[in-house]
Amino acid sequence: MRLYINTGRTVVQGSHVDNKHSREYYLETSTLRMNPVDMMELGIDDGEHVRAEASGMGVVLKVISDDTIERGFGFLPLGPYANFLVDGGTHSTGMPDFKTAIVEINATDEKIMTTGELMRQLGGVPYER
Amino acid sequence: MSDKVRHVVCPYCGCLCDDILVELDEGKITGVENACTLGAHKFLSDSENRLKGPIMRDGSGWKDISYEDAIDYVVDLLSKADRPILYGWSGCATETQAIGAHLAELIGGVIDSTTSVCHGPSILAIQEVGHPGCTLGQVKNRADTIIYWGSNPIEAHPRHLSRYTNYADAYFFHNAFRERQVIVVDTRKTPSTEIATEFVLVKPGGDYHVLSALRAILRGRADVVPDIVAGVAKPQLIRIVEICKKTNFGAMFFGVGITMTGGKYKNIRNAIEFVDELNRYTKWTISPMRGHSNVYGSNEVFTWISGYPYAVDYSRGIAFYNPGETTVVDILARGEADAALIMASDPGAHFPRICSENLAKIPTILFDPYPSVTTHLCTLQIPSAVNGIDAAGTAYRMDGIPIRTHKFLDNTGYPTDTTLLKQIYDRIREAKENA
């Protein structure tokens, strides 16, 4: 299923920006809110996982239903999971398309990576102390 | 010994609330009054979140190093780099930002702030058509109609409504809350849309169309506007124009909901021109909802020093500015940078994937009091004192008012980033002069 992903600040995300290794930040920024009808089409329930892919790279997310979100759209609080799906192009403005990432969503049983594991995929070395 | 410190300035967002009361016990923050959830977390979790000292990548792990060794590494790296980027700055005091701008010139680097991924497009629009803005004090005391467009203040700037708009007392109103109205325009329902007297639900990507329709109606050409514009019914558009025209003093605030979406700076230009045209009928102003505590300051400081507000490239020996080319996202996406100095920001969490990937390939120094997502990508992280907690400095509120933050914790043992950056600047300058 193809979705347009919107991102933005949430209170939980914003409250933990100085504690990004916390469980709260990890859970909040890796949880995708989707329209319940879209979830039904995908065959997933609240709390189950999906793999979101863009430009050949994917990230596993938890999904919760949100009937304020229109079909074909999703909301993912801003953070490393959302930006993993964002292309680097800026249309010569300096500003990427943060709020309109087009992603392919499929149900999965895979686990959600921590932010350290996610950055390891990009060549980083997780700091877990 | 317990103590209470009054009039503390919150260093979280661009509201820079200056009425915070902090309770201390034995030099630890034990209570916070007046702050929003975001600010309270900042103060209350500060000590437990801080990195204890500099850390350096060591093969597949990390090792502790001294501040002296860390500074030696930074001086050596920045002196030798061909295309260094100096990014972040929005959580730093203006004093630090000024040293950063001079350092960029000294080493022929690019200096850019988080502006480029928040209100960079707003600045581009302001450069095209100007900024009919005002201070938040004017809005608080005079505005009877407030528009939040592409902005969710309840979650992103929680006290904006209570200090400056809907819930704030006003000098010129008997009962401000009853006499004000709030219009919220967004592509989704948010906690902020719940408090709106008028909520306009726009289809994603449709802001430019809706603004153009409002301008057409305002100019008396409702006949050219279709029945529905980007999901908004024409009668609602007409009603909004009427509300705006009948207003005594209107204030529009816009967020990254319209700077990041299709059209980018053209959306903001359209919004400014709508406000410009409204001023033919009554008084209206427009201002961006700036995010970081001192992101506005970075634009001021870089402009004083280089002539440009962000994305300043000194590689030619002179200041060169071309957002889209000299913005750090573009430089990283092109794989152009060979060293990075990241000041109090987190591109690992907030940049597109390709940028993080390329940041991990180059030596990256991170100045941040707390471990972040960029920590996993950097080569060296240096924690420094936090501006507004154990360091004092100047920060610019979102409406351009400079506010002095206070240092109320002593003896935390952390040097300020101003001191560390000055050392780095002086040593590189001395080496260049002696070369």
Clarify whether residues B316 and B201 are in a common domain: no
Express each pLDDT in B125-165 by its tens digit: 999 999 999 999 999 999 999 999 999 999 999 999 999 99
DSSP B321-373: E-TTTSSHHHHHHTT--SEEEEES--HHHHS-HHHHHHHHHS-EEEE-SS--T
Clarify whether residues B242 and B302 are in a common domain: no
Q: Is the pLDDT of residue A107 over 90?
A: yes
| Identity of the residue in B57, B260, B353 whose CB atom sits nearest the CB atom of A95 | B260
Clarify whether residues B318 and B349 are in a common domain: yes
pLDDT tier for residue A56 given thresholds of 50, 70 and 90: confident
Final residue of a structural domain among B222, B254, B288: B288
Number of structural domains in chain B:
3
Clarify whether residues B271 and B373 are in a common domain: no
The reported pLDDT for the residue numbered A11 is 94
Structure tokens at B3: 């103590």
Range of the domain at B270: 120-288
Phi-psi region of B16 (alpha: psi -120 to 50; beta: other; left: phi over 0): left
pLDDT tier for residue B1 given thresholds of 50, 70 and 90: low
Clarify whether residues B267 and B399 are in a common domain: no
Clarify whether residues B263 and B339 are in a common domain: no
CB of B38 less than 8 A from some CB of A: yes
* Residue with tokens 């240096």, as numbered in its chain: B382
Clarify whether residues B92 and B103 are in a common domain: yes
CB of A9 less than 8 A from some CB of B: yes
Strand partners, B252: B147, B286
Report B:18-37 residues touching A (Cβ under 8 A).
37
Q: Which residues in chain A are contacts of B327 at CB distance < 8 A?
A: 90, 93-95
Final residue of a structural domain among B256, B288, B320: B288
Final residue of a structural domain among B241, B263, B288: B288
Clarify whether residues B243 and B385 are in a common domain: no
All residues at 6 or more sequence positions from B411 whose CB lies less than 8 Å from its CB, including other chains: B27
Clarify whether residues B317 and B417 are in a common domain: yes
Look over chain B and give the mean of its residue pLDDT values, rounded to a whole number. Answer: 97
pLDDT tier for residue B2 given thresholds of 50, 70 and 90: confident
CB B218 within 8 A of CB B279: no
Report A:21-50 residues touching B (Cβ under 8 A).
21, 29
The reported pLDDT for the residue numbered B411 is 85
User: Looking at the whole model, is its pTM more than 0.90?
Assistant: yes
Distance CA(A97)–CA(B259), nearest Å, equals 10
- Preferred mutation among A6, A9, A71 to probe B, highest tally of B CBs within 10 A: A9
Which three-class secondary structure string do you get for chain A? CEEEEEEECCHHHHHCCCCCCCHHHHHHHCEEEECHHHHHHHCCCCCCEEEEEECCEEEEEEEEECCCCCCCEEEEECCHHHHCCCCCCCCCCCCCCCCCEEEEEEEECCCCCCHHHHHHHCCCCCCCC
Clarify whether residues B204 and B300 are in a common domain: no
Least confident of A55-59, A109-113, B214-218: A55-59
Supply the CATH number for residue B419's domain: 3.40.50.740
Distance CA(B404)–CA(B396), nearest Å, equals 9
* The amino acid at B185: V
Domain boundaries, chain A: 2-121
Clarify whether residues B106 and B246 are in a common domain: no
All residues at 6 or more sequence positions from A52 whose CB lies less than 8 Å from its CB, including other chains: A3, A5, A32, A58, A59, A60, A61, A85, A103, A104, A105
CB B110 within 8 A of CB B340: no
A2-121, CATH topology level = Barwin-like endoglucanases (2.40.40)
Clarify whether residues B160 and B235 are in a common domain: yes
ipTM higher than the 0.85 cut: yes
